[in-house]
Amino acid sequence: MSQIIQRMDENEPIVRYRNITKSFGDHIVLKELDLDILPGEKIALIGPSGSGKTTIARLLMTLEEPTSGTIEVGGEMLWHMQRKGNWVAANEKHLHRVRSKIGMVFQHFNLFPHMTILRNVTEALVHVLKMPKSEANQRALEILERVGLKEHTQHYPAQLSGGQKQRVAIARALVMQPQIMLFDEVTSALDPELVGEVLDVIKGIASEGDMAMILITHEMDFARDVADRILFTDGGLIVEQGTPKDIFENPESPRLQSFLSRFL
Ligand code: ADP
């Protein structure tokens, strides 16, 4: 049995990055990053390309290992757990459990092309969570309705627009009922006329949900509308953070001022 005590207090961060440094070879991508995210909190990461935003997300998804520092999700260390005073590598089962708390949607949708939309959404419920098919279908249909795709459940990904495919990808992550959702530039690969429908779906989820959300985005209006807190990253550091009002109306650092001036 797990010896980890799960803490799910509302005021207790659901995500806690401590002193995280990440290097690729000589290139230091994140420098001693500290970041707490509260349950249900919506944060947006903004900043120039290459400033480390995706790396912050990939570390949380355990797709990258930190060079140093720790990350906790729901009170559990991602990389190591302390047992009898020793640090030991986390095992696959542990990582799987921690990962199951997090849903991620990327720029590219990565749907299964040979499966219907419904099956794309039920696949992990049936094969990972071992949920009976009828129950999985019911849950998937509810979610597909929420993202406006009820009419397309029997279609295949190739029959859908980019915006619809991205909404399937969102449904596929949501159906697992994660406590944290990560959206990494989910509209960057879309034709401009399809961006709005995807952002509207995310706004809807944000307004309903008690899920924490991390939004990596270049859509400043969207960040302003959805986020409780905005973090500006540059050169591997969180240079400035605050409410949307603080960030957009009173940016303090010259680097943030210069970054925002590109969107005027
Ligand atoms: P952002 O999301 O802000 O654009 P990233 O986190 O994707 O930034 O990247 C930060 C820096 O880390 C970039 O310079 C990128 O080239 C580098 N980087 C990211 N992943 C790797 C990798 N697997 N190997 C080498 N360098 C990487």
Q: What is the pLDDT of residues 111-130, one digit of tens each?
A: 999 999 999 999 999 998 99
Query: Is the complex ipTM more than 0.90?
Result: yes
Give the span between the Cα atoms of 46 and 229, in whole angstroms. Answer: 11
When the pLDDT of each residue in the chain is averaged and rounded to a whole number, the result is 90
pLDDT at 98: 81
Helices (H), 100-161: 117-127, 133-146
Choose among 74, 80, 90: nearest CA to 179: 74
Q: Is 263 near ligand 1, meaning CB less than 6 Å away?
A: no
What atom in ligand 1 is closest to the CA of residue 30? 10
User: Do the Cβ atoms of 224 and 42 come closer than 8 Å?
Assistant: no
What atom in ligand 1 is closest to the CA of residue 236? 10
The helix (run of H) or strand (run of E) holding residue 23 is: strand 15-24
pLDDT at 4: 44
Q: Which of 23, 27, 61 to mutate to test the pocket of ligand 1 (most atoms within 8 A of CB)?
A: 27
pLDDT at 210: 86
pLDDT at 139: 97
Q: Is 51 near ligand 1, meaning CB less than 6 Å away?
A: yes
Q: Which two tokens stand for residue 82?
A: 């302390």
Per DSSP, what are the bridge partners of residue 44?
A: 215, 230
> With a cut of 50, which residues of the chain have pLDDT below it?
1-7
Q: Which two tokens stand for residue 197?
A: 């429908």
pLDDT at 3: 42
What atom in ligand 1 is closest to the CA of residue 58? 6
pLDDT at 88: 55
User: Do the Cβ atoms of 206 and 226 come closer than 8 Å?
Assistant: yes
pLDDT at 89: 57
pLDDT tens profile 37-79:
999 999 999 999 999 999 999 999 888 888 888 899 988 888 7
Query: In 10 A of CB 229, how many CB atoms?
Result: 16
Give the span between the Cα atoms of 216 and 199, in whole angstroms. Answer: 12
Using the mean position of ligand 1's atoms as its centre, give its distance from the Cα of residue 101 in Å: 24
pTM for the structure as a whole:
0.91
pLDDT at 65: 86
